[in-house]
Amino acid sequence: MDKVLLLCGSPRPKGNTMQVLQSCAQVIEENGVEAEVISFAGKEIKSCIACNKCVELKKCVLEDGLNEIIDQVREAKGFIVGAPVYYGTARGDMMSALQRIGKVSGATDQFLSWKVGGPIAVARRGGHTASIQEMLMFYFINEMIVPGSTYWNIVFGRNPGEALEDQEGMKTVHKFGENVAKLVKILNQDIHF
């Protein structure tokens, strides 16, 4: 079955970003596509060290758990990322991960090409749109397909649980999940064009 992988960039295993992604995953499953949420909690994701070893190794030289995530991304038809906003931008670990995932894709078989997905930003009050824009750069340079929703994918919340109370934010994320699932199904029919 086609699968969408949702990557949570928060260090809090039960934080707002995790709860938002789990709710998005549920909608994806309701729309007939498998969904799995994985988290950075307990991991320390390093930044790309520009060694270019991925060209020969076909994986990242840094062994901090990201290669296992990259294997899961490779197998999935959809890839959604969710990050908490820290000081007006997406949490650093998420950007480090996206830069390395993109580098490995480019150094190997461009496995990100035509995967469906997009970013979600979660924050107490500000910096959501800048964070979405930062993460979108990864999607567009890797030839990925990003559906829209009824608003931008931003959710408001500070303490764990508050994000789920942001009705408009959650409605936006649910419609986004539905659109990702629909596109995954359409794009993975046996149609050649």
**CB of 19: closest distance to ligand FMN in angstroms?**
8
Q: What is the DSSP letter of 109?
A: T
**CB of 122: closest distance to ligand FMN in angstroms?**
5
**Contact pattern from residue 1 through residue 20 relative to ligand FMN, giving x for each residue in contact according to CB under 6 A and a dash for the rest:** ---------x-x--xxx---
The SS3 assignment for 152 reads: coil
**Contact pattern from residue 60 through residue 99 relative to ligand FMN, giving x for each residue in contact according to CB under 6 A and a dash for the rest:** ------------------------xxxxx-----------
Q: With respect to ligand FMN, which residue has the nearer C-beta, 102 or 157?
A: 157
The SS3 assignment for 11 reads: coil
Q: With respect to ligand FMN, which residue has the nearer C-beta, 61 or 164?
A: 164
CA angle in degrees (0–180, nearest 5) for 96-58-181: 65
What Å distances lie between residue 185 and 30, 61, 138, 150, 176, CA to CA?
Answer: 13, 34, 23, 20, 14
CB 40 within 8 A of CB 8: yes
Q: Does 152 bind ligand FMN (CB under 6 A)?
A: no
**CB of 107: closest distance to ligand FMN in angstroms?**
31
CB 118 within 8 A of CB 147: yes
CB 37 within 8 A of CB 3: no
Q: With respect to ligand FMN, which residue has the nearer C-beta, 3 or 124?
A: 124
Site for ligand FMN in 115-134 (CB under 6 A): 122-127
Q: Tell me the residue type at 97.
A: A
Footprint on this chain of ligand FMN (rule: CB under 6 A): 10, 12, 15-17, 84-88, 122-127, 157-158, 160
